[in-house]
């Protein structure tokens, strides 16, 4: 018997299948990866004090190249991550907390999903000083970071992502060298150190060797739009500023030059970013005596280092395989650290130095500034500080952020013990609390361990490393 024809049957069946397919369609729609980038100019007016060196600090009279904050936004459909890298010596946590608070209120992105860092150029002005020459540079930096991040979010578009590593060993040298057993070098406090920062060539016969390792790797994170144009390229290289900048010039050092070369090579609207890695004990000089020291003209060495770095990153970039989607997540947590205090002997020494006539011949060329720092450390409040440690997951890439000038050995330990296949660390991120020597480096002494250069307890690097690894493990274990 022929079944009666029901004109709505096919429609009902079609609707039923469509209803079943809806969750799958929604899931597919969610798996759209997006990226956006933007830059904001943060060049201060001329006439402000350039920080990064001991007194007398010069007044800026010329802008060699503009200073920027470079912003990157990532979105996996559920989670957004923000990275912002500013051309500045260092930014305090209160500046960055205020910036994050404004952005969290305006965008809904949790503060824990934001990473703001400084490049550590020594040719910038302080954003920590509230006002100088009648100008509030702190307010300018905050507003420009907020604007840059919002514009990066406005620029979000469907994207593909990839990362990889290259090597550039010739420009990373450990700047701390250990003197042979029984040989020491005087420090400003009247004591003796075995480690010497940036030693003169006359000390070469007395060297035992470098005090720590270097990391020759350069990390590369690439974001391309689905039509093929480059959105952004972020690199991470573990090298201090290069220098060779006239004292009265404002400059982004090799960080800015690298970004310009990347942007020129990959074309507009690409944004280049260079986030500094753990390099508190590393610079671009070779103190082994194996290579002949070269004299560079102003900005010449910056151009050479940035050029070599850009060339290696672009080489890596050509071989990257971009993915259409990866999961994103982030975590952050504070580590409580004791503020370092001077000993009674150090206080007595500082009082004696400060009691001297200003034109008296110093025992050590840095005794005056360090006597002042000892007395500042005596008065410092509070007794404990909170150091914010961050961790980010981008697929199988892990990134940690630490608010110190971190020694390379700490960054290498995090990398080695990380649960992710690829891991790198960004220093001077989410604040700035001075140098972070390991306990072993404290025993050797040297500039980075001196009270006033180092401001927190001896075991700080151990606690911070443990926290960074804990956060990475949490991200790894999360569904």
Encode pLDDT of 4-50 as tens digits: 555 444 444 444 444 444 444 444 456 999 999 999 999 999 999 99
Number of domains composing the chain: 2
In a domain, 190, yes or no: no
- Verify that 350 and 233 share a domain, yes or no: no
Q: Are 195 and 444 in contact (CB under 8 A)?
A: yes
pLDDT of residue 29: 56
C-alpha dihedral, 57 to 61 to 63 to 69, nearest 10°: 50
Same domain, yes or no, for 137 and 232?
A: yes
**H or E segment at 220?**
strand 217-225
Assess whether 360 and 449 both reside in one domain: no
- pTM (2 decimals)? 0.92
Of residues 321, 298, 316, the one with CA closest to residue 251: 298
CA 369 to CA 132: how far, in whole Å? 22
Through-space distance between the first and last CA atoms of the chain, rounded to whole angstroms = 55
**479 residues of the chain, pLDDT tens digit each:** 444 555 444 444 444 444 444 444 444 456 999 999 999 999 999 999 999 888 789 999 999 999 999 999 999 999 999 999 999 999 999 999 999 999 999 999 999 999 999 999 999 999 987 677 789 999 999 999 999 999 999 999 999 999 999 999 999 999 999 999 999 999 999 999 999 999 988 888 899 999 999 999 999 999 999 999 999 999 999 999 999 999 999 999 999 999 999 999 999 999 999 999 999 999 999 998 888 889 999 999 999 999 999 999 999 999 999 999 999 999 999 999 999 999 999 999 999 999 999 889 999 999 999 999 999 999 988 999 999 999 999 999 999 999 999 999 999 999 999 999 999 999 999 999 999 999 999 999 999 999 999 999 999 999 999 999 999 999 999 98
> What's the domain range around 235?
34-176+206-337+382-477
Contact 382, 212 (CB under 8 A): no
Digit-coded pLDDT (tens) for 345-395:
999 999 999 999 988 999 999 999 999 999 999 998 899 999 999 999 999
Same domain assignment for residues 311 and 245:
yes
Q: What mean pLDDT value characterizes the chain?
A: 93
Cα torsion angle, 445, 450, 454, 460, sign:
positive
Domain contains 274: yes
Domain final position from 321, 352, 379? 379
Q: CB atoms < 10 A from the CB of 365, how many?
A: 9
Q: What are phi and psi of 432, to 5 degrees?
A: -155, 120
What pLDDT does 27 receive? 46
Give the whole-angstrom CA distance, residue 94 versus residue 431: 8
Longest dimension (CA), the chain: 119
Dump pLDDT digits (tens) for 247-277: 999 999 999 999 999 999 999 999 999 999 9
Do 411 and 360 sit in the same domain of this protein? no
Of 327, 361, 379, the last residue of a domain is: 379
354 and 453 belong to one structural domain:
no
Q: Are residues 351 and 473 in the same domain?
A: no
Question: What is the per-residue burial (b if ≥16 Cβ within 10 Å, else e) of 17-39?
Answer: eeeeeeeeeeeeeeeebbbbbbb
């Amino acid at each position: 018997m022929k079944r009666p024809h029901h004109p709505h049957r096919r429609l009902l069946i079609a609707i039923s299948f469509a209803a079943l397919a809806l969750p799958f369609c929604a899931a597919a729609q969610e798996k759209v990866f997006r990226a956006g980038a933007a830059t904001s100019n943060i060049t201060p007016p001329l006439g402000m004090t350039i920080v990064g060196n001991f007194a007398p600090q010069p007044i800026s009279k010329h802008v060699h190249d503009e200073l920027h904050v470079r912003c990157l936004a990532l979105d996996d459909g559920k989670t957004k991550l923000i990275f912002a890298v500013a051309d500045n010596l260092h930014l305090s946590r209160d500046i960055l907390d205020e910036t994050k608070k404004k952005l969290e209120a305006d965008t809904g992105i949790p503060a824990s999903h934001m990473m703001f860092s400084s490049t550590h150029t020594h040719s910038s002005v302080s954003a920590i000083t509230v006002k100088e020459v009648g100008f509030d540079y702190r307010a300018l930096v905050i507003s420009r970071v907020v604007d840059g991040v919002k514009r990066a979010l406005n620029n979000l578009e469907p994207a593909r992502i990839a990362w990889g590593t290259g090597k550039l060993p010739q420009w990373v040298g450990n700047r701390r060298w250990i003197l042979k057993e029984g040989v020491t070098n005087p420090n400003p406090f009247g004591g003796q150190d075995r480690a010497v920062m940036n030693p003169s060539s006359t000390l070469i016969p007395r060297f035992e060797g470098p005090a720590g390792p270097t990391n020759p790797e350069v990390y590369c994170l690439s974001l391309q739009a689905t039509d093929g144009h480059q959105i952004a390229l972020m690199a991470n290289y573990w090298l201090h500023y290069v220098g060779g900048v006239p004292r009265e010039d404002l400059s982004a050092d090799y960080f800015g030059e690298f970004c310009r070369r990347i942007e020129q090579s990959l074309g507009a609207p690409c944004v280049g970013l260079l986030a500094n890695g753990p390099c508190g004990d590393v610079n671009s000089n070779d103190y082994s005596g194996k290579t002949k020291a070269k004299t560079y003209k102003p900005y010449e060495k910056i151009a050479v280092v940035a050029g070599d770095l850009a060339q290696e990153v672009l080489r890596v970039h050509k071989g990257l395989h971009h993915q259409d989607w990866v999961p994103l997540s982030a975590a952050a947590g504070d580590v409580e650290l004791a503020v370092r205090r001077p000993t009674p002997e150090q206080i007595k020494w500082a009082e004696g130095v400060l009691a001297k006539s200003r034109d008296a011949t110093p025992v050590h060329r840095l005794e005056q500034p360090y006597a002042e720092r000892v007395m500042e450390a005596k008065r410092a409040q509070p007794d404990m500080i909170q150091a914010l440690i961050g961790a980010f997951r981008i697929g199988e890439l892990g990134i940690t952020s630490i608010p110190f000038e971190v020694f390379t050995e700490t960054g290498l330990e995090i990398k080695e013990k990380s649960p992710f296949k690829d891991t790198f660390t960004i220093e001077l991120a989410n604040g700035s609390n001075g140098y972070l020597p390991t306990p072993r480096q404290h025993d050797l002494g040297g500039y980075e361990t001196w009270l006033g250069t180092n401001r927190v307890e001896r075991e700080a690097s151990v606690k911070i490393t443990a926290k960074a690894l804990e956060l990475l493990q949490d991200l790894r274990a999360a569904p």
